Amino acid sequence: QVPLKPGRSLMDWIRLTKSGKDLTGLKGRLIEVTEDELAKHNKKEDCWICIRGFVYNVTPYMEYHPGGEDELMKAAGTDGTDLFDQVHRWVNYESMLKECLVGRMALKPVAAPKVDILMTLLFVGMLPEKKLLGASAKDLTPSMPEESLCVYIYFSLLYYLFCSYDWFQTDSSVTIVIYTKQKNMNAELVIVDCQDKQLRGEIIMDEHSFLVEVDLDHAVQEDITVNISEKVGKVEISLKKKEKIHWKMLGQPLESHETVTKRTDRGLFYRKCKLVSKTEVTHDTRLLCLMLPKSTHLCVPTGQHVYLKQMIAGTEVVKPYTPVLPFLPLDFKEPSAHDGAHIYFMIKIYSCGLFTQALDHLQIGDCISVSNPEGNFKKSQAEASEDVFLLAAGTGFTPMVKLLNFTLSEVRCLRTVKLMFFNKTEDDILWRNQLEQLALKDERFEVQFILSQPAKDWVGKQGKISSSLLSDFVKRSRKDSKVLICICGPAPFTEQGVQYLKDLGYSQEEIHAFTA
């Protein structure tokens, strides 16, 4: 992020979009934009950007962009979808830029790939029949356009190879069984929601996911049960009928039903969670406990984050946060209170932060939308590590909470876990007492607090992240020990830290930077 001029905050931008001012320069007209036309608008004073087929005039937004004008200019006059997804896919650009909408990109004719129809039909003959939801699945015939045929075959083969599903019922219940064909299936890889008769069950398969999405034939009760057979990869979703009647079918398939897709291409799915408690951690940081709906099964994996979404002044605002535990356990097990029904967030409240101020003003019983988890950290990165070093600045401590618990309780080859925690003052240190207690309890764990603005009586280390501080801290317990170094904090902190670590001889494979 870059410092913005006075009067250029998010709230100021929202006010501008509601002022009635023509932000597109087209006096309310929507036009079809060709690639050639888009390319002409590539200057700061005249900047159009395409995101997912829609073109926006971002010229008036330049001074309001938290990442600075230069970041926007990287996509000036081009399709910026990939760049947008890399940096902040979670931002609700449709809401933020709706008054800047110029129009749609003109479609280009696409040459159909040549397909051997005979081979196609042979492949199709290998595929299982679709399950009956309502009407029978349409027959696949050679008259289907060839490019559509290719897409159908590709995803159908993925479906056949990875997942299938079935369902059965009793007088009082309906059970959907998903056969994932994955070993070591666990609760973190299954996300289920049932909202207003719409059932959504997502099975995570590394970077892809399989989706069952159905508008149920009849109403069901709010609470659901999910049972997972880890060794055989079977997932059972049990629903209780509201009425004891026989269902003729499970329901009508929705658009993404029975698809295997890259997770980043699915878009974010949200459910509303209720605030049940809010406690003070420091003078400006709160621990929020949200209760998941009874109709949701969601376990956020270690090292992954979610997005919180709020409506502020008529505009949807979204921010990423990493869930934490309710406290640091000293016996290295998930606390009994962390039962899958609740999700915890450690939120720093900024005096000028529109989003965090809104969070701080939430009352017990209020709701906020929480997305599915995202992130590229994998537990396997830590499971083979003998030495784990954690570098955190401020609320960059949040991904380290679950990571501490995971490494100390489940990494069998672990020798040491060391946390270097950077803050401005002593009053800013999150869970200081708990961290010190943990260090006393387990000889494998060590914590160092580094302050950039210490009081005169501070006897610990001080300063900002530097090569000299890190060189003494990130030392292997033995010459060839396997190491994992995780770092999280403001972007400059993370970028500098990663460079210092590389300068000290650590490889990219030994470093994981948490970003969102």
List domains and CATH numbers for the chain.
Answer: 10-105 (3.10.120.10), 159-262 (2.60.40.790), 270-374 (2.40.30.10), 379-513 (3.40.50.80)
State which residues of the chain have pLDDT below 70: 1-2, 89-90, 108-162, 331-339, 516
**Cβ pair 285, 430 in contact under 8 A:** yes
Closest CA relative to residue 285, chosen from 493, 491, 450, 429: 429
pLDDT in the model for residue 81? 87
**Distance from chain centroid for Cα 223:** 25
| Residue linked to tokens 């960059």 | 396
Which tokens in the block code for residue 338? 């962390």
Closest CA relative to residue 469, chosen from 481, 445, 451: 451
The string of DSSP letters for 120-173 reads HHHHHHHSPPPPPSSSPPPPP-TTS-HHHHHHHHHHHHHHHHH-EEEEEE-SSE
The string of DSSP letters for 167-192 reads EEE-SSEEEEEEE---TT--GGGEEE
- Distance of CA 283 to CAs 287, 395, 410, 430, 459, Å? 12, 13, 34, 10, 22
CB atoms within 10 A of CB 391: 30
Interval 147-174: pLDDT, tens: 555 555 555 555 555 688 999 999 999 9
pLDDT in the model for residue 213? 96
Q: What is the DSSP letter of 305?
A: B
Which tokens in the block code for residue 367? 């709701």
Strand residue runs (E) in 41-136:
42-43, 46-51, 54-57, 101-105
Q: What is the CA radius of gyration of the chain?
A: 26
Q: What is the pTM of this model?
A: 0.78
pLDDT in the model for residue 154? 55
Which tokens in the block code for residue 459? 């006897």
- Distance, CA of 436 to CA of 433 (rounded, Å): 5
- Distance, CA of 96 to CA of 99 (rounded, Å): 8
pLDDT in the model for residue 243? 95
- Distance, CA of 254 to CA of 251 (rounded, Å): 9
**Cβ pair 240, 220 in contact under 8 A:** yes
